[in-house]
Amino acid sequence: MPPRSTPSERQRRLGAELRKLRTRARLSGDEVAALLQADRSRVSHIEAGRVDVPRNGLYKLLRAYGCESGPLFDALMDMAHDRGKGWWDEYQGVLARRALDLAELESRTISIRAHDSSVIPGLLQTEDYARAVIASAESDHTHLDQGVQFRVDRQRVLAGLQSYHAVIYEAALRMRVGDTKTMRKQLLKLIEIARLPHVTLQIFPFEGGACSSFSRHFVLLGGRTPELDTLYREHPTGADFIGDGVVIADYARMFERLTSLALAPVDPETAPESQATRGSLGLLQHVLYELR
């Protein structure tokens, strides 16, 4: 089978992790090729995610690279033999590859830390809000309905996470997306979701400074082992999936700073009307009142 020209993010990440391990083990591409009884080009294709490596071949590689049995070993074996199939398959050829890659990545994630400085994060959006956001962002509305349904379908991942923590800039609450009814429903949904025991929601107020505005949109997706954590960043022409541990650590520190400057999160143990101190819930309620 010829090498694939457009590997999925999972395939690309597996290859990148194998390259890291090989480099750390100080093995050359030729030495690995000999181990696999293949030529040097095949090793390059494996590390670029363009071809798959058989289960026994991957086992040999991981052992040769000094990757001992444990969470990382098991996760890499699973990544290699995961066919990448899921509910997102029905959107093949309709939505961009990066959207499908994100859905697949979220399905393997155990924790999410998200920051957004302009809109409500996608996993927390109502259907009407999502429709208004997508319609505003894209000039071609041919697949608008599918795009909205895809965003709604992605939200099923929330139930299976160990933790979800979002910091949302106050501007996202006040920016009018759709009509008043759409915004009210969206803010009420935020309060409802924020009271789930594994969900933490904080609002970064205007008086907190410019940190949230400069930080822009990013998502830290926690894998089964820290080595497989991923940073996801969107930009006007696409998105980046970053597995560099140094960059991820920088963004993790940025997220901690945002949480320290943001308002106190909604307390899932306390009814909204009984929270006296000013916090994220108080600001949400205030914006809701202004929308009447």
Report residue 273's pLDDT band, with 50, 70 and 90 as the boundaries.
low
The verdict on residue 3 lying in a domain is no
Q: Is there a single domain that holds both residue 284 and residue 152?
A: yes
Q: What does the pLDDT read at residue 259?
A: 96
Domain residues for the domain of 108 are 97-290
Task: Identify the CATH number of the domain in which residue 236 sits.
Answer: 3.30.870
* HEC secondary structure over the chain: CCCCCCCCHHHHHHHHHHHHHHHHCCCCHHHHHHHHCCCHHHHHHHHCCCCCCCHHHHHHHHHHCCCCCCHHHHHHHHHHHCCCCCHHHHHCCCCCHHHHHHHHHHHCCCEEEEEECCCCCHHHCCHHHHHHHHHHHCCCCCCHHHHHHHHHHHHHHHHHCCEEEEEEEHHHHHCCCCCHHHHHHHHHHHHHHHCCCCEEEEEECHHHCCHHHHHCCEEEEECCCHHHCEEEEEECCEEEEECCHHHHHHHHHHHHHHHHHCCCCCCCCCCHHHCCCCCHHHHHHHHHHHCC
The verdict on residue 2 lying in a domain is no
How many domains does one find in the chain? 2
Average pLDDT estimate for 174-186 = 94
Q: Is there a single domain that holds both residue 239 and residue 170?
A: yes
Q: Is there a single domain that holds both residue 42 and residue 150?
A: no
Report residue 268's pLDDT band, with 50, 70 and 90 as the boundaries.
low
Q: Is there a single domain that holds both residue 54 and residue 151?
A: no
- Residue at which a domain ends, from 24, 47, 81: 81
69-126: pLDDT as tens digits: 899 999 999 998 877 789 999 999 899 999 999 999 999 999 999 999 899 999 999 9
Q: Is there a single domain that holds both residue 147 and residue 68?
A: no
The verdict on residue 101 lying in a domain is yes
Q: Is there a single domain that holds both residue 31 and residue 167?
A: no
Burial class (CB within 10 angstroms; exposed 0-12, middle 13-18, buried 19+) of 246: exposed
Q: Is there a single domain that holds both residue 231 and residue 274?
A: yes
* pLDDT at residue 275 greater than cutoff 60: no
The verdict on residue 4 lying in a domain is no
CA torsion, points 128, 187, 154, 158, in degrees to nearest 10? -160
Average pLDDT estimate for 8-25 = 94
The verdict on residue 245 lying in a domain is yes
Q: Is there a single domain that holds both residue 259 and residue 148?
A: yes
Q: Is there a single domain that holds both residue 173 and residue 211?
A: yes
Lowest mean pLDDT among 1-10, 146-155, 183-192, 241-250: 1-10
Q: Is there a single domain that holds both residue 103 and residue 154?
A: yes
The verdict on residue 86 lying in a domain is no
Task: Identify the CATH number of the domain in which residue 72 sits.
Answer: 1.10.260.40
CA torsion, points 131, 134, 135, 138, in degrees to nearest 10? -160
Q: Is there a single domain that holds both residue 167 and residue 254?
A: yes
Q: What does the pLDDT read at residue 274?
A: 59
The verdict on residue 227 lying in a domain is yes
164-177: pLDDT as tens digits: 999 999 999 999 99
Among candidate residues 290, 131, 267, the one with its CA nearest the CA of residue 195: 267
Q: Is there a single domain that holds both residue 57 and residue 106?
A: no
The verdict on residue 91 lying in a domain is no
Q: What does the pLDDT read at residue 276?
A: 56
